[in-house]
Structure 1
Amino acid sequence: MQHPATGPAALTGYIGAIAAANWLTARHGMVPVGLGLTTTAGTFAAGATLLARDAVQDTLGRRWAVTGIGIGTALTAATSPALAFASAAAFLLAEATDMGVYTPLRTRGWARAALASGVIGALVDTLLFLYLAGFPVTTATVGGQLVGKILWATLLPVLLVITVRRRRHALPRHTVRA
């Protein structure tokens, strides 16, 4: 059973991640991430939106996920107006793609759905955002974005959740004796 605050917390995190990604990118632009790769400064926050959107859908439903995009876009327009259109278009298409993959796969397990939708959403978001925001679309920038979004913001959190769930289920259950 979920705590009643789980849905609102997921929505708040989702909206915050959208706004943070755009603010960081507007403020710092492209940053090196090693191995000759570069990424927008907001990539890690943008990657977090992919899992946060899944959590919003699971706790509050698809309508709230779309509402989160709208609120995040409004915050972006207020804090990073130059990125508002690129962000809105990329998030809307990427999140719609993410939802289109996540929703049918969710019945086969959360981890499978979150990983598959995160990879597809990250690819769509990366290509469209870089292009619309006027950043170079190169192997170095796309690679850097995908490392941040897929590896650090999707794969590692999903593995962490799986590990915690397995350990929690593996713990011996204590019985209360009367």
Structure 2
Amino acid sequence: MARPGVEMKRLWWPVAAMMTVVVVSNIAVQHPFTPWGLQDYLTWGAFTYPVAFLVTDLTNRRFGASAARRLVAVGFLLAVIASAIVSEPRIAAASGIAFLSGQLLDVSVFNRLRRLAWWRAPLASGLVGSAIDTALFFSLAFAGAVTEVAIYGIPGFSFAAPVWVAWAVSDFAVKVMMALLMLMPYGALLRIVLPVEQPRKA
């Protein structure tokens, strides 16, 4: 097992990638997705943030769960600091809490499933991590702050809900789609990103 100092030196590229993804997503989530009239349901952040799970899963595959957790911890600290500069404090705090919870859950699920078919670990961990991340981020970032109410339903049945709830549901739907799409780069990199040592139990 690599010493912490040595391990952090070899994690510079996933840390840089993770910080970039989170900062870009924190900015993107503040901008509604306007094509096709979806501005009340979706933000651009839904399309950028799932890349964070790809970075975590590739790190987990290459260096193991311990290194992936170090990546999450360092990425969390750097991303929160950077996000506090480029976005509102509430957005930065919500992003940090959701990031830490979702990514650590992703690491655990991936590590438990890594010996199964190649696609199961990244898909399952990405979906579970995204669900927790979405629920925490939108409830902490927008509950009470975004007061607009939208009407949803079909003829004869309708209900009102805060716009941020619609954003969260739509955001997760896109993340499910992105989790499936992220299997392509993950699968393409399987022969390049090889484990450096036998994975140990979390």
Question: Residues 59-107 of structure 1: CA distance to partner in whole angstroms, max 9, x if unpaired?
Answer: 3512123211221111111111331111011111111211121111112
Distance 2:105 2:81 in 1: 21
Residue 11 of structure 1: aligned partner: 15
Matches within 5 A, 1:72-151: 72-82=79-89, 83-134=91-142, 136-138=163-165, 140-151=166-177
Residue 46 of structure 1: aligned partner: 49
Aligned with 1:58 (options 47, 53, 61): 61
Unaligned runs of 5+ in 2: 1-8, 147-162, 191-202
Cα drift, residue 137 of structure 1: 4.4
1:103 maps to a residue whose letter is: N
Question: Residues 14-44 of structure 1: CA distance to partner in whole angstroms, max 9, x if unpaired?
Answer: 1110110001223x2x325659672222121
Q: Structure 1 residues 132, 165: CA separation in 2 closer, same or farther (over 3 Å shift)? A: closer
TM-score (norm 1): 0.75
1:141 maps to a residue whose letter is: W
Q: Structure 1 residues 98, 88: CA separation in 2 closer, same or farther (over 3 Å shift)? A: same
Please give the secondary structure, in 2, of the residue aligned with 1:38: coil
Is this contact kept in 2: 1:7–1:55, CA < 8 A? no
Residue 194 of structure 2: aligned partner: none
Aligned with 1:156 (options 181, 184, 191): 181
Distance 1:16 1:58 in 2: 21
Question: Residues 113-150 of structure 1: CA distance to partner in whole angstroms, max 9, x if unpaired?
Answer: 10000001111111111111115443x32332123212
Is this contact kept in 1: 2:98–2:136, CA < 8 A? yes
- Identity percentage of aligned residues: 25
Greater helix share, structure number: 1
User: Hey, which bits of structure 1, 4+ residues long, moved more than 4 A?
Assistant: 32-37
Distance 2:35 2:128 in 1: 21
Is this contact kept in 1: 2:23–2:83, CA < 8 A? yes
Unaligned runs of 5+ in 1: 167-178
Count of paired positions: 159
Alpha-carbon RMSD across the aligned residues, in angstroms, is: 2.8
TM-score (norm 2): 0.67
Is this contact kept in 2: 1:7–1:59, CA < 8 A? no
Distance 2:59 2:115 in 1: 16
Distance 2:13 2:53 in 1: 15
